[in-house]
Structure 1
């Protein structure tokens, strides 16, 4: 994958037009993949990871699960079992605007994971949320099918695939 810094340098016109967006630097990194890319599969949930599990149970080849958890710092939306499920089902990565847990287990998973922080408490399981809708990572909009690029320098969201 081309580094996000090079993608920014080569696509300044898309940044100016708003079709390439740089997510503000707020994420910590877990998982064995330090860089990943793929098309966004979006979820909007709040302190309930039922839809996260059901999404990760599907084939994720070429996809990044983008979870708008409302930035909640009161529980985790992804843990070790879901990290293993993501690896098993070939997800390129997971970006969580919220927390994760079981970080030592997540670091053993062959998937890239970005989240705001670690939190030891699990989420609720009520089956509440929305799938494949426009979501927000703080001030950055992500639509289903957008391209997500993540590495050690940050996370980018693009309307189209970048070369």
Structure 2
């Protein structure tokens, strides 16, 4: 697995003058958990907003993601997964650094073996329906932060931080 030379705590400590948002670890009882093989990951943000439809997630992760992290606002749905092992494998093949899902994933044992950072709220075996719905490159708001495409996001077991500019070379 790849290692990324940062710890989110140090990014905050080393950059006190920068406007860095810190995602709340719990908002309404929702906690992000690490599911991927990469325990720390970061990169330039690409956003997608979708509710119980992973069409846009699948499409985006099938494109070149070099140096990027897909951030998905799934509306915190606990009824179906927005990513499973096949879509996660596509993300690895297309060089994505990671995926952060405000919702669920599935196939977690397979995802844990992949060189991909994955944070999500929970796991559920139910897959989503694909109806071609969802918006890309829109501002997302969850976890007490606002996230936009083009920003930079960093995640590890300490939490998730968002900055306007790159804080480390990945």
TM-score range, shorter chain: over 0.9
Q: Which residue of 2 aligns with 1:4?
A: 8
Report what 1:24 is aligned to: 24
More helix by share: 1
Q: 5+ residue gaps in structure 1?
A: none
Find the aligned partners of 1:76 and 1:134 in 2 and give their Cα distance: 22
For residue 17 of structure 2, the aligned residue among 13, 20, 27 is 13
Q: Give how far 1:144 is off.
A: 0.4
Instruction: Give me the TM-score of the superposition, normalised by structure 1.
Output: 0.94
* Equivalence for 2:131: 126
Pick the aligned partner of 1:138 from 126, 143, 146: 143
Are 1:58 and 2:63 counterparts? yes
Q: Residue 82 of structure 2: SS of its match in structure 1?
A: strand
- Whether 2:100 is the aligned partner of 1:95: answer yes
Aligned equivalents of 2:112, 2:121: Cα separation in 1: 15
* TM-score, normalised with respect to structure 2: 0.90
| SS of corresponding position for 1:70 | coil
* Aligned residue pairs, count: 159
Give unmatched runs, 5+ long, in structure 2: 26-30
Q: In structure 2, what is the Cα distance between the partners aligned to 1:122 and 1:137?
A: 22
1:115-155, CA deviations, whole angstroms, 9 ceiling, x for partnerless residues? 00001111110111100111123321100011011111111
Distance 2:37 2:107 in 1: 14
Deviations 1:78-115 (A, max 9, x none): 10111101111000000000000000111111100000
